[in-house]
Amino acid sequence: MNFSRTLLTKLEHAGSVCALTGAGISAESGVPTFRGDNGLWSKFKPEELANFDAFIRNPALVWEWYSYRKKVMRDVRPNPGHEALVSLERMVADFTLITQNVDNLHRRAGNKNVLELHGNIERSYCIDCGRFVHDVVIAEKGRVPACEHCGGLVRPDVVWFGEFLPQEIFADAEQAARRADVFLCIGTSAVVYPAASLSLIAKEAGSYVVEINVERTDLSSRFDETVLGKAGDILPSLIREFRSLKEPHP
Ligand code: BV8
Ligand code: ZN
């Protein structure tokens, strides 16, 4: 795969690199994306299930969706796209990985500086007393987990539509985007805000913004480059080329 001279030069001289990932980077691990054709749940729009009112109205349905996704998570593992970002973190002085994904695959791959904008499906908490409940087990279909301490309703620790993102985490993400010399926008449809605005913030602050996706998105025209293809192919190849620049053969 040949990358633009500009991208490779920018990477070679970058002091700070930032990556923003979406469901597309986990697709090759077998995790269904939100807006692609993902079978069972494609009859629901994410906005219909990933929101507090839907949860209060029908907690069993929302927990059925999350239990299905937690089960999927148990059977999948990081793919070469995730692993390439671990290598990148080791090759760059200042690297920040911002993810919209709640699947924990970046941490499982080995990335350290991970900002989870939308929470993490492996954590849940009681909406009454706030106690965290680790790895909730949903006994059977139609049941919802209750808090052992107060009997309150337990929810997944993820950010739903209409809910604020964790302020601290988003502020750190914004700073990382502003200082990035290179900003990689990987496997996201760029329709969910404020996450999608981070690429534009980076661009405005002077980053070289490169989108990696199997198709162009609404924001492609705002970026410096779009590299079309699978993250699991593109990222390892980009890291190989970058490494050969940084560590020329003896
Ligand atoms: C907020 C966690 C302030 C849960 C998610 C009206 C009222 C309130 C808010 C709004 C409103 N109108 C608009 C908004 C803002 C709203 C929003 O953006 N809506 C959209 C739909 C227009 N945002 C919010 O509500 C946010 N909060 O604004 O708070 C506020 C508060 C109160 C009142 C007003 C404002 C909260 C948003 C967070 C929602 N939670 N997830 C869960 O996961 O269960 S969002 C969900 O979508 C996921 O996090 C996901 O990451 C995110 C984005 O989707 P993508 O990751 O991009 O995945 P997608 O399937 O869409 O695309 C996959 C891409 O990968 C595609 O481009 C595909 O081509 C590509 N791909 C596929 N395979 C590959 C690949 N690329 C590379 N390689 C491959 N192999
Ligand atoms: Zn409780």
Q: pLDDT tens digits for 135-159?
A: 676 656 778 999 999 999 999 999 9
35-58 pLDDT tens trace? 666 555 667 777 788 899 999 999
158 Cβ contact partners less than 8 Å away, ≥ 6 residues apart: 50, 102, 118, 119, 120, 121
Query: Is 249 annotated in the active site?
Result: no
Q: In what order do the strands lie in the sheet with 132-134?
A: 132-134, 119-126, 154-158
What is the domain range of residue 214? 5-31+78-118+165-246
Residues 198 and 179 in one domain: yes
Share of the chain above pLDDT 70, in %: 94
Residues 64 and 171 in one domain: no
- The CATH number for 150's domain is 3.30.1600.10
- Best of 52, 121, 158, 188 to mutate for ligand 1, by most ligand atoms within 8 A of CB? 188
Out of 127-131, 135-139, 223-227, which region has the weakest mean confidence (pLDDT)? 135-139
| Relative orientation angle of helices 231-246 and 5-12, to the nearest 10 degrees | 60
The owner of tokens 């087990």 is 137
Find the catalytic residue in 13, 106, 118, 249: 118
Residues 130 and 145 in one domain: yes
CA atoms within 13 A on the CB side of 17: 24
Ligand nearest to the CA of 194: 1
Residues 59 and 137 in one domain: yes
- Best of 34, 69, 79 to mutate for ligand 1, by most ligand atoms within 8 A of CB? 34
pLDDT of res. 36: 64
The owner of tokens 């539509």 is 161
How distant is the alpha carbon of residue 54 from its chain centre?
23
SS3 87: helix
